[in-house]
Chain A
Amino acid sequence: MRNVLTLTLALGLSVCFAQNKQLLYGFDEVPQSLMLNPGTKVPQKKHFGIPFLSQLHINGGSSGVSVFDIFGESNVDINTRIRNKIFELKNSDFFTATEQLEIINFGWRANNEIYFSGGIYQELDFISYFPRDLAILAWEGNRDYLDYPFNLGEISATADLLTVYHFGANKQLTKKLTAGLRVKLYSSMLSARSVNNKGTFVTTLGGPDSPNIYEHTVTNANVTLNTSGIASLDGMDSSEIPGEIIGRAFFGGNFGLGVDLGATYDINNRLSASASLIDVGMIFHGKDAETYEATGTYTLDGIELIFPPLSAGQPTLPYYDNLEDELEEEIPIDTITSGYTQFRPLKVNAALKYSFGKTVGKGAECDCRNMGGGIDRAQAVGAQFYSIFRPKGPQMAGTLFYYRRLWDFLAAKATYTVDSYSFSNVGLALVTDFGKFNFYIAADNLLRYGNLAKAKSVSLQLGFNIKIDEE
């Protein structure tokens, strides 16, 4: 129990991960590998995910800091450690958290040899870049940073809670080529994002013409926050909110459309290449959308007293109100209720796989019905590439993997991944088929499981399916 609690805490603090499922990609024994490449090879005839249990995916990570960096037992004061980290982190460092829960997942091979699959899953996706300048300002104040322009543009974060309804088709088109397509309907429950912000804040000593000692200047501010599904929650009783949000999961929120594309090509009977594009799509936030936008330039000099001649009892000028009005006029915060369009974070996967060892399953070296096609073998090695488009550009990862079919009912895949978090991410996935019952578990950053506090990212996927193989 204590472990679970600390794990939750650890994930809570190091909230962040990049949706890379390097362990499941191309691991065809797991029906969910279809979700990562609609054009993967599907060995089974049918599959049904156990509702709510067919895939749980949790991912948390932060590119520059681990829980241990902050909360590790140490003689150094925690505030010193935080301060050191703030200065060490860059504004391209990020925190992210992803969670996906499959509600339903099913698939079957139709008579025309097309493998149809569909389902519903719920996704939470959060990323925030580290706003380094604002962290310095909050931690240190501006006294030691006169003339230093704090960059307001470092604010960059998105958060989404959505349900995805999907349906796809997969077919082996030729002996060498398998391709697939999946259509997705997104139903957004909550969404917020603040990206592409601009502006600086600087405190300078006033010059000879300046009315006061300092000039506090915001220059060319353009800070925008898009929200959808959030404005209407304001003022709602907190006990009503969960029900309201769950209601939106079923066609109550804002909609979007997207596709997944993918293909696998057998170069020869040992070498195979594959690639996929996941979430090529967008969500149209029209309902309950509110955008807040602050733009402008303003210099604050303090309050000027003008000592107006007043008769007794007469109030003086409302200097403070005037100052606030002036600020609101120069940097107005507009609330815009028109909708906005949000692109889904596009994910790109690609892999090259070399199979060796004895052949397994159907297909033998001289299978006349499968000339030139790939053959399932007991072992494989290969390389994978993964990229996800984030507000400040793509985040990429490279993976080397070793696959081994140990027995008919057990296969394993081990990965070594280099990404924004670390150069030492080793992962392992196991999939078992006991009769029709299919169970898989995949976890990365295994070297850190001895002490998760030192991990900068943690990713875990597990699930149960019923799988009916080809006779």
Chain B
Amino acid sequence: MKKNLLKPLMVVFICLLAFACVKDTDFDQAEDIVLTPVVELDLIYFNIEASEFYDDVNQIPIPTLTDTTEIRFLDDTEVQENLRRADFYFKFTNSIPRNFQVDFQFLSEQNDTTYATQTSVAEGSVQTPVITEFEEIIEGDDILQVTMANRIVVSVTIPDANPDLEGTLNLQSKTTYYLEIRDRE
């Protein structure tokens, strides 16, 4: 009896170990794995006083104020490979009674302009500041241009200025990065 039981038992056990396998699986699916995080990140902000558009010493208006910052991660290889879309959102709050033209210029390491966009900001007043929103959705081939840049140049142009001009131009901005991360050979 014992003998009768033992042999099948051993056979079953050894077979289990010998023929253990992984079934109904498809490891090729690993190639289809894509991470698609959507990242919200602050970009730049500033507050420009109306007086900054007038040179008190020389008694002349300064029509355009320009500043530049690096956005160093923008041309990282990972970002270049994985970024599919970027939504730039700019929110201006203007209490200066002037319209503005604002230019955004993306510069590469070699100082080439890879992408540029501009918007105009509606005039406001100190009592009732006016909000102007501007959104630039960048995808497709444009993304390749943007991810070649690692600097943004911001130029703010005022049509005319005088020493009595009052108010502030405020900017807040953010970018929504749509990433698509997959295993690349």
**Interface of A with B (CB < 8 Å)?**
3, 6-7, 9-10, 67-68, 71-73, 77-79, 82, 137-144, 146, 203, 206, 211-216, 300-308, 316, 318-321, 406, 410, 412, 428, 430, 441, 443, 446, 449-453
Contact check, B24 vs A68: say whether CB atoms are below 8 A apart. yes
Contact check, B16 vs A449: say whether CB atoms are below 8 A apart. yes
B142 contacts the other chain (CB 8 A): no
Contact check, B40 vs A211: say whether CB atoms are below 8 A apart. no
- Minimum CB distance partner of B49 in chain A: A307
Q: Would you call the interface of chain B mostly helix, strand, loop, or mixed?
A: strand
**For B29, what are the chain A residues with a Cβ–Cβ distance below 8 Å?**
71, 78
Q: Which of A137, A302, A318, A446 has the most chain B CB atoms inside 10 A of its CB?
A: A302
A441 to B91, CA, bound (A): 70
CB distance from B128 to the nearest CB of A (A): 17
B25 contacts the other chain (CB 8 A): yes
Restricting to B1-56, which residues have a CB under 8 Å from any CB of A?
Answer: 2, 6, 9-10, 13, 16-17, 19-27, 29-30, 32-46, 48, 52
Contact check, A142 vs B13: say whether CB atoms are below 8 A apart. no
**For A320, what are the chain B residues with a Cβ–Cβ distance below 8 Å?**
69-72
B146-166: CB near A (< 8 Å → 1, else 0) gives 000000001010000000000
Pick the contact of B67 from A71, A79, A82, A308 — CB < 8 Å?
A308
Contact check, A138 vs B173: say whether CB atoms are below 8 A apart. no
**For A138, what are the chain B residues with a Cβ–Cβ distance below 8 Å?**
35, 37
| A215-B42, A428-B13 known, 6 other contacts, Cβ within 8 Å | A71-B25, A216-B42, A303-B69, A441-B17, A451-B22, A453-B24
Contact check, B46 vs A307: say whether CB atoms are below 8 A apart. yes
**For B66, what are the chain A residues with a Cβ–Cβ distance below 8 Å?**
307
- Minimum CB distance partner of A78 in chain B: B29
A301 touching B45 in the complex, CB below 8 Å, given contacts A78-B33, A319-B69: yes
B80 contacts the other chain (CB 8 A): no
A9 to B27, CA, bound (A): 9
**For A412, what are the chain B residues with a Cβ–Cβ distance below 8 Å?**
9
CB distance from B132 to the nearest CB of A (A): 15
Q: Which of A82, A215, A428, A449 has the most chain B CB atoms inside 10 A of its CB?
A: A449
Contact check, A140 vs B38: say whether CB atoms are below 8 A apart. yes
CB distance from B112 to the nearest CB of A (A): 18
CB distance from A377 to the nearest CB of B (A): 15
Interface size in chain B (residues, C-beta < 8 A): 53
**For A206, what are the chain B residues with a Cβ–Cβ distance below 8 Å?**
172
B77 contacts the other chain (CB 8 A): no
CB distance from A360 to the nearest CB of B (A): 13
**For B45, what are the chain A residues with a Cβ–Cβ distance below 8 Å?**
211-212, 301-305
**For B21, what are the chain A residues with a Cβ–Cβ distance below 8 Å?**
3, 6-7, 450-452
Contact check, A141 vs B38: say whether CB atoms are below 8 A apart. yes
Q: How many A-B residue pairs have CB under 8 A?
A: 161
Pick the contact of B91 from A3, A79, A211, A213 — CB < 8 Å?
A213
B176 contacts the other chain (CB 8 A): yes
**Interface of B with A (CB < 8 Å)?**
2, 6, 9-10, 13, 16-17, 19-27, 29-30, 32-46, 48, 52, 65-72, 89, 91, 154, 156, 172-174, 176-177, 179
Q: Which of B22, B39, B69 has the most chain A CB atoms inside 10 A of its CB?
A: B22
Contact check, A73 vs B25: say whether CB atoms are below 8 A apart. yes
CB distance from B162 to the nearest CB of A (A): 18
**For B176, what are the chain A residues with a Cβ–Cβ distance below 8 Å?**
143
A303 to B42, CA, bound (A): 8
The 5 closest A-B pairs by CB, nearest first: A302-B42, A141-B37, A320-B70, A141-B38, A6-B22
Contact check, B37 vs A137: say whether CB atoms are below 8 A apart. yes
Pick the contact of A7 from B22, B40, B179 — CB < 8 Å?
B22
A73 to B23, CA, bound (A): 9
A316 touching B41 in the complex, CB below 8 Å, given contacts A71-B29, A79-B34: no
- Minimum CB distance partner of A203 in chain B: B40
CB distance from A449 to the nearest CB of B (A): 4
**For A140, what are the chain B residues with a Cβ–Cβ distance below 8 Å?**
37-38
Q: Which of B33, B68, B69, B156 has the most chain A CB atoms inside 10 A of its CB?
A: B69
- Minimum CB distance partner of B90 in chain A: A213
A319 to B173, CA, bound (A): 16
**For B9, what are the chain A residues with a Cβ–Cβ distance below 8 Å?**
412
Contact check, A306 vs B67: say whether CB atoms are below 8 A apart. yes
Contact check, B20 vs A449: say whether CB atoms are below 8 A apart. yes
Contact check, A304 vs B40: say whether CB atoms are below 8 A apart. no
Contact check, A304 vs B16: say whether CB atoms are below 8 A apart. no
**For A146, what are the chain B residues with a Cβ–Cβ distance below 8 Å?**
40
**For B173, what are the chain A residues with a Cβ–Cβ distance below 8 Å?**
212-213, 302
A149 to B44, CA, bound (A): 24
Pick the contact of A302 from B36, B44, B91, B156 — CB < 8 Å?
B44
A305 touching B46 in the complex, CB below 8 Å, given contacts A82-B33, A319-B69, A453-B23: yes
**For A304, what are the chain B residues with a Cβ–Cβ distance below 8 Å?**
44-46
**For B2, what are the chain A residues with a Cβ–Cβ distance below 8 Å?**
406
CB distance from A462 to the nearest CB of B (A): 9
Contact check, B172 vs A211: say whether CB atoms are below 8 A apart. yes
A3 to B17, CA, bound (A): 11
**For A410, what are the chain B residues with a Cβ–Cβ distance below 8 Å?**
6
Contact check, A141 vs B24: say whether CB atoms are below 8 A apart. no
